[in-house]
Structure 1
Amino acid sequence: MVGGAWWSYRPGDLLMFSPRVYARLFELHNQALWPAPLLALVLGAVVLVFLLRPGPRRTRLVVALLAVAWAFVAWAFLWQRYAPIHWGIAYLVRLFGLQALLLAALGSLRGGLRLPGHWNVRRGLGIGLFAYALALHPLAALATGRGLAGAEVIGLTPDPLAIATLGVAAMAEPAPRAWALMVVPALWCLLSALTLFLLDAPGAWLPLLAIAAALAARLWPAPKAPR
């Protein structure tokens, strides 16, 4: 009986927690940090305005805020809340720290990262990804049955932060630095999609769609410089 019991397992049994436990992560996180979710949304809206009307100083501020967010999420969410129920998350904390350092380096260098001021396909997809992460991704909690108490807020939880960073990197220049910024967010989105799939949760395709949109933006032919 023991030898034949393997076929009774479901994909979600590979995880060490249930969908309810996973949902409670976000509920407890928001409760512990309140009213930080409201502040995070306000700061996210400010960043969106900066993306719509970029400039050198605003770009450096955007990159600096993203660096702080990656460091904060690594410690407050991944290490404090997620790692105790998932042993593999402890290794990802270092990747989030590296992403924060990379962003901090680019934010402190003159000409470290540039954001376009004219509309094109890259900019449209990039701003669309950021706007989704800010305004729509928190509402996905309603579709999963968590309610807004379990909403995933940009700057406080990994998924919207990764999607927002993909949006910024999708339209940023120079290209080599932008590609480097996409690696860790894309890896996290892949892991998140797998986790949601194993939990049989709705929306597992959303992180994959974010990766696809960011890749499409980066691979889209660069607009020709005006003569």
Structure 2
Amino acid sequence: MSEWWTYRPADLLMFAPRTYWRLFELHNDALWPLPVATTLAGIALALGLMRGHTLALRAGAAGLALCWALVAWAFLWRRYASIQPVAGAFAIAFALQALGLLALCAARSLRGTDQRARRGTGLALLAWALLAHPLLALAAGRPLAQAELFGLAPDPTVIASLGLLLYAQTGAGATRALLWALRSLALAWCLVSAATLWTMGSPQGWVPLAAAALTLAGLWRRPIAKPAPG
């Protein structure tokens, strides 16, 4: 028997990478043409946020709540759980995030941030999740049928949510705490996903980590103080 210190993280993986990516192909095929609807809805959200519409921010939070619930049930619970024993816990976390997003969209103090850098970074994350993230399948030599799509797969849905949650701000104490809790759970998933992808030997693990880093940088960036008149 080999000693425990001779094992690598990949030796503890319970499924082959091809099995993991095949899940997305089956998932996309089963829900087609829903990906078209989620992508168009995401583009409409991005356009609304670019114009600074608070209504778009509320509608986006509600729409993302539905996406998190769909990912929780249709992907994590029904598919990923067949190869990953802890996927049931992930599904519960995603369901809780969906409830939190619904509560956020109803918050009266919810509004877009006044910081231009945060707004730009949030929109960039949303654009990546909608348009660029699915193309990572082709970049990695996988068929487009195995692409991770916004609203159906965890990573692009989480990255889009980070964009909206970075764009959003609120003045109320309870709602501010909820906003930070939602950000924290999305950031935690980025770490889980990065670890899973790196364990499979996929360089794509840098993508959720980069999204988390951009979000944290945007949140920690202080607004530039305006000089006093006179």
TM-score > 0.5 by shorter chain: yes
Q: In the alignment, what sits opposite 1:199?
A: 200
Match of 2:111 among 114, 136, 153: 114
- Measured in 2, the distance between the counterparts of 1:24 and 1:5 equals 31
SS in 2 for 1:68: helix
- Mapping of 1:62-211 within 5 angstroms? 62-111=60-109, 113-116=110-113, 120-174=116-170, 176-211=177-212
Q: In the alignment, what sits opposite 1:22?
A: 20
Moved more, 118-127 or 13-22: 118-127
Moved more, 216-225 or 119-128: 216-225
Q: Classify 1:109/1:5 alpha carbon distance in 2 versus 1 (closer, same or farther; 3 Å).
A: closer
CA contact (8 A) 1:143 1:202 kept: no
Show CA shifts across 1:14-37 (max 9, x none).
111001001101111111111111
* Residue segments in structure 1 that go unaligned for 5+ positions in a row: none
- Measured in 2, the distance between the counterparts of 1:5 and 1:93 equals 31
CA contact (8 A) 1:120 1:223 kept: no
SS in 2 for 1:95: helix
SS in 1 for 2:26: helix
Q: Classify 1:200/1:108 alpha carbon distance in 2 versus 1 (closer, same or farther; 3 Å).
A: same
Q: Which amino acid aligns with 2:127?
A: A
* Residue segments in structure 2 that go unaligned for 5+ positions in a row: 171-175
Q: CA deviation at 1:3?
A: 4.1
- Measured in 2, the distance between the counterparts of 1:188 and 1:201 equals 17
CA RMSD of aligned residues (A): 2.0
Q: Which amino acid aligns with 2:125?
A: L
How many correspondences in the alignment?
223
CA contact (8 A) 2:57 2:164 kept: no
- Measured in 1, the distance between the counterparts of 2:73 and 2:180 equals 25
CA contact (8 A) 1:196 1:204 kept: yes
CA contact (8 A) 2:104 2:179 kept: no
CA contact (8 A) 1:171 1:218 kept: no
- Measured in 2, the distance between the counterparts of 1:57 and 1:134 equals 20
Q: CA deviation at 1:183?
A: 1.2
Q: Which amino acid aligns with 2:81?
A: A
Show CA shifts across 1:134-186 (max 9, x none).
11001011122222101111111100011111111112112544322211111
- Measured in 2, the distance between the counterparts of 1:169 and 1:223 equals 21
Q: In the alignment, what sits opposite 1:57?
A: 55
- Measured in 2, the distance between the counterparts of 1:77 and 1:152 equals 11
- Measured in 1, the distance between the counterparts of 2:3 and 2:90 equals 35
Q: Classify 1:156/1:223 alpha carbon distance in 2 versus 1 (closer, same or farther; 3 Å).
A: farther
TM-score scaled by structure 1?
0.91
CA contact (8 A) 2:60 2:164 kept: no
SS in 2 for 1:110: coil
- Mapping of 1:34-53 within 5 angstroms? 34-53=32-51
